[in-house]
Structure 1
Amino acid sequence: MIKRLLAGAAAIGAIGGLGFLYYAWYPPIEPVEPPDRGSFSAEQIERGRIVAAEGYCAECHTRTDNGGGPELAGDYKMDTPFGAIYSSNITPDPETGIGNWSEEAFQRAMHLGVSRKGVHLIPAFPFDHFTKMTDQDVSDLYAYLMTRPAVHMTRRPNELPFPLSLRLLQAGWKLLYFTPGVYKPDPRHDALWNRGAYLSEGNAHCGACHTPRDFMGAEKKSAPYDGAVVDNWIAPPLNEHNPTPTTWTEDELFQYLRFGVAPLHGPAGGPMSPVPHRFLSTVPEEDVHAIAHYFADVDHAAEREKHDKAALARAMEQSKIDLVGPTVDPDAKLYQGACAACHYNAAPSPVLGRPDLALNNALWLDEPTNLYQVILHGLTAEEGQTGVAMPSFYNALSDQDMARIAAYLRRTRTTLPPWTDLEKKAAAVRKTITTIPVNSSH
């Protein structure tokens, strides 16, 4: 009897293994000669440029360390909990890029996460979002990439330990987490909302940064847009869990995504900065409006903004107090000397280019990470609001100084509990900055 049970279990295991191999196996697609630029119309190439900008292709496929690298030639380092991953060269170089990929092979990679050679792609490449893109958008993107300058550059090998380095296991990840299929419009919403949802959920892959991940590196479907840690910054929640006292309305979102600064919430910094400046500032305005329209619905802006007037008044009052009369609070004096001159605002609302910290995400998040990053890194004239810079205080403020400023702002600008271990956390964030900013204040 036991032998029969063991034999049955072995047979089931063998059948299951064969079934998994059948599911996981994809044949190679034959290489092609790099297509001639003349085979694509100027209109299709321009449409592809827009698709590439709305998907931020150059952001993850251009090396930034070791002196940088040619655009779209890959080798961008992505640090993950599983090890470092380096992006692919997506220029039309036939040897080190995708120059010998047919459009069929490119479509398969975008929609199914499988390379031309039949190898499963690591989901650091967000094919779980790109699968929602239409065939036309993928075709236009192919036309754009195949007409870029070909760059012969090999990326560094991924640093994934065994057995995570086995690409076949990625098929198991897909079996658990990946549902292929083009975005289907929601009939309960209008065309603008659906356009915004299509872009946000698909090509723009907003959830890849703003949704927390589980132990397998998959986005938590139970917590969409709840915020996550990205490149040593916190990508804040994009839903109703965003803690700022004034609502991210459709107009605030549009201003932020199009121009890099929202009147009430301040400038885009860190990994978010290139999104408005390099990419969304170059696409049709109606697409940015669509994304803003979609997320204003996701965060229930219409229901929440009734509290904004009172929150704004409180913020302006506290900002005025900082510069009126002497203070005996040593932390307040430190803040006045380092920050208040540029962050002071008066009623009725903040001046553009002078962000009010009481309304900024950085003070309302669970950790002071983003506040410390901005203090240490600063903002150049190309980041945040165009032409407005904030110096780095990397050399000017110690970890203890930053901890005092953070504690002061948290208790005077928010209604939330104090942060803990502030000096220790300041030191930890400082260690993530490998290059001292050139605009460092002394």
Structure 2
Amino acid sequence: MLKRIAAIAVGLGAAGGIGFFAYAWYPAIAPVARPAPSSFSPDAVKRGALVAAGGYCAECHTRTDNGGGPVMAGDYKMETPFGDIFSSNLTPDPETGIGNWSEAAFKRAMNLGIARDGSQLYPAFPFDHFTKVNDQDVSDLYAYLMSQPAVHQEPRKNTVPFPINIRITGQGFWKLLFFKPGRYQNDPKHDAEWNRGAYLAIGDAHCGACHTPRNLLGAEKSGSEYDGAVIDGWIAPPLNEHNPTPVVWTEEELFQYLRFGVAPLHGSAAGPMSPVPHSFLSQLPESDVRAIAHYYADVDHAATRSSGDAAAVTRAMQMSGRNLTGPQTQDADARLYQAACGACHYNSGPAPVSGRPELALNNALWLDEPNNLYQVMLHGIGAKEGQDGIAMPSFYAGLTDHDMARIAAYLRRTRTTLSPWTDLEKKAAQARATLKTPPINASH
């Protein structure tokens, strides 16, 4: 009897193993000669350029360390809990890029996360979002990439350890648990603009890849869509009703932010988000950016949550108006804030002045941790990063960790109704440690 049970268990295990390898194994697709750029229509290449911009391809496929590298030639370093992963070369170089990939091989990579040679791709490449992109857009993207200059650059080797680096098992198992392939399907409950925005946001723009927290296996947490996540030491804030700012992200605020990099009531794009409006979404038709804003305004239920916005703005202006006058000037932390920050963040009117972000309305003060406030203090914001032509210097050299902690504590207690942050000086040191080199615009 025991032998029979053991035999059945072995048989089931073998059948399961065979079934899993049948699921995870893919054949190689034969290499092709690099297609001539003239074989693609100019319209297809132009449309593909928009798909590449909407998906921020150059952001993750261009090396930024070691002196930088050619656009789209890969070798961008992604530090993950599972080791360092270096992005692939997307130029049409036949040896180190995708020059010998057929369109069918490229589509398989986008749709299923499978390389031309049949190997499983790591989900650092967000194929779980790109699987939503329709065939025409993928074909146009292929035309665009194959029409770019070929660059011979071999990406560095990944440092993912055994056994995760055994892709057929590690990534195959990951996909079995978390990956649902398939193109985006319009939701009949919503209008065409909403569906266009959802298609772009969920698929090509893969917003959830940064704004949704991850589980222990690196997949986006089910049931926590758009709840916010930590990315490169910054917090990508929630894009839903859990966003804590006192003024709701309305459709118009979202559009201004995504199109121009600054929202009148929420401030400027900074850090990893800064290139999104300035380098990428600015290339898209305005109608597409408005569609994304329309979709996210529905996600965060802006229409039903914005009734208190006017009162919140009034309170923020009153708090800002006390920055430079009144009894708070006897507070040593207030005086430090006034000396370092007050001149540029003071607002006295009924609404914030363009170019003077009102901190009482900003995500940075209302998030659970001071990451973004510290990162902006340390990095600053360049003239091309936030609002055009307006810059904030880095205080990397001008403020100590203790100074930063004092300013953070002061702003949290005077600009919000939330409980104090803890371990502020320790967290300031941790934020400083994330900077590999001091910013070139650091103040002294």
Question: Structure 1 residue runs of 4+, over 6 Å off?
Answer: none
Deviation of the 1:435 alpha carbon: 1.3
Aligned mates of 1:325, 1:342 — CA distance in 2: 18
User: Counterpart of 1:384?
Assistant: 386
Alpha-carbon separation, structure 2, partners of 1:423 and 1:11: 59
Structure-2 residue corresponding to 1:194: 195
Q: Could you list the runs of 5+ residues in structure 1 that have no partner in the other structure?
A: none
Asked if the contact 1:317–1:347 (Cα under 8 Å) also holds between the matched residues in 2, the reply is no
Cα distance in 2 for residues equivalent to 1:346 and 1:281: 32
Letter in 2 for 1:328: Q
CA distance in 2, matches of 1:218, 1:335: 40
The code of the aligned residue for 1:63 comes to R
Give how far 1:101 is off: 0.2
- Measured in 2, the distance between the counterparts of 1:56 and 1:322 equals 39
CA–CA separation in structure 1 for the residues paired with 2:354 and 2:149: 39
Shift of 1:323: 1.4
SS of equivalent to 1:185: coil
Letter of the structure 1 residue corresponding to residue 296 of structure 2 = F
Amino acid in the other structure paired with 2:309: D
TM-score (norm 1): 0.99
CA shift, 1:347, in A, is: 2.4
Counterpart amino acid of 1:214? N
SS at match of 1:430: helix
Corresponding residue number in structure 2 for 1:365: 367
One-letter code aligned to 1:260: G
SS in 1 for 2:322: helix
Structure 1 residue 346: deviation in Å?
A: 1.5
Aligned length: 442
Aligned partner of 1:254 in structure 2 is 255
- Offset at 1:325? 4.0
| Shift in Å, 1:148 | 0.6
Cα distance between partner residues in 1 of 2:18 and 2:114: 20
Q: Whole-Å Cα distance in 2 between the matches of residues 37 and 60 of structure 1?
A: 24
Amino acid at match of 1:50: L
Does the 8 A contact of 1:86 with 1:156 survive in 2? yes
1:409 match: 411
The whole-number CA distance in structure 2 between the counterparts of 1:24 and 1:79 is 26
Aligned partner of 2:32 in structure 1 is: 32
Q: Which residue of 1 aligns with 2:208?
A: 207
Aligned partner (choices 400, 403, 421) of residue 402 of structure 2: 400
2:330 partner SS = coil
Distance in 1, matches of 2:146 and 2:280, equals: 19
Question: Deviation at 1:397?
Answer: 0.4
> Which residue of 2 is the match for residue 298 of structure 1?
299
Q: Provide the rounded CA distance (Å) in 2 between the counterparts of 1:159 and 1:307.
A: 49
- SS class of match (1:229): strand
CA distance in 2, matches of 1:325, 1:181: 60
CA displacement 1:413-441 (0-9 Å, x = unmatched): 00000000000000010000111111111
Match of 2:82 in 1: 82
Q: Deviations over 1:300-322 (max 9, x none)?
A: 00011101001000000010011
- What SS does the aligned partner of 1:202 have? helix
Are 2:95 and 1:118 aligned?
A: no
Counterpart in 1 of 2:12?
A: 12
If the length of structure 2 is used for normalisation, what is the TM-score? Answer: 0.99
In the other structure, the counterpart of 1:47 is 47
Distance 1:148 1:167 in 2: 30
CA deviation map 1:198-244 (0-9, x unaligned) = 00000000000000000010001210000001111100000000000
Whether 2:425 is the aligned partner of 1:423: answer yes
Give the alignment of 1:223-242 within 5 angstroms: 223-242=224-243
Aligned partner of 2:58 in structure 1 is: 58
Q: 1:181 aligns to what SS in structure 2?
A: coil
1:438 and 2:440 correspond: yes
- Is 1:162 equivalent to 2:162 in the alignment? yes
Paired amino acid for 2:107: Q
| Equivalent residue, structure 2, for 1:142 | 142
Q: Matches of 2:429 and 2:411 in 1, distance apart?
A: 18
| 1:70 aligned residue | 70
Residue 324 (str. 1) matches residue 333 (str. 2): no
Contact 1:193 1:290 (8 Å CA) reproduced: yes
Partner secondary structure for residue 389 of structure 1: coil
* Post-superposition offset of 1:34: 0.4
The one-letter code sitting in structure 2 at the alignment partner of 1:172 is F
Percent same amino acid at aligned positions? 70
Please give the alpha-carbon distance, in whole angstroms, between the structure 1 residues aligned to 2:230 and 2:127: 20
Deviations 1:386-431 (A, max 9, x none): 1100000001100000000000000000000000000000001000
The answer as to 2:92 corresponding to 1:107 is no
Whole-Å Cα distance in 1 between the matches of residues 371 and 21 of structure 2? 44
- Find 1:354's aligned residue among 353, 356, 374: 356
In structure 2, the gaps of 5 or more residues are none
* 2:131 corresponds to 1:131: yes
Distance 1:104 1:277 in 2: 32
CA distance in structure 2 between the partners assigned to 1:423 and 1:112 by the alignment: 45
The secondary structure found in structure 1 opposite 2:238 is coil
Q: Deviations over 1:107-151 (max 9, x none)?
A: 000000000000000000000000000000000000000001100
Q: Secondary structure at the match of 2:84?
A: strand
Q: Tell whether the 8 Å contact from 1:313 to 1:347 is kept in structure 2 after alignment.
A: no
- 2-structure distance, mates of 1:172, 1:427: 38
Give the aligned partner of residue 218 of structure 1.
219
Please give the alpha-carbon distance, in whole angstroms, between the structure 1 residues aligned to 2:233 and 2:375. Answer: 8
Alignment check: 8 A CA contact 1:342 1:354 kept: yes
Q: Distance in 1 between matches of 2:157 and 2:167?
A: 13
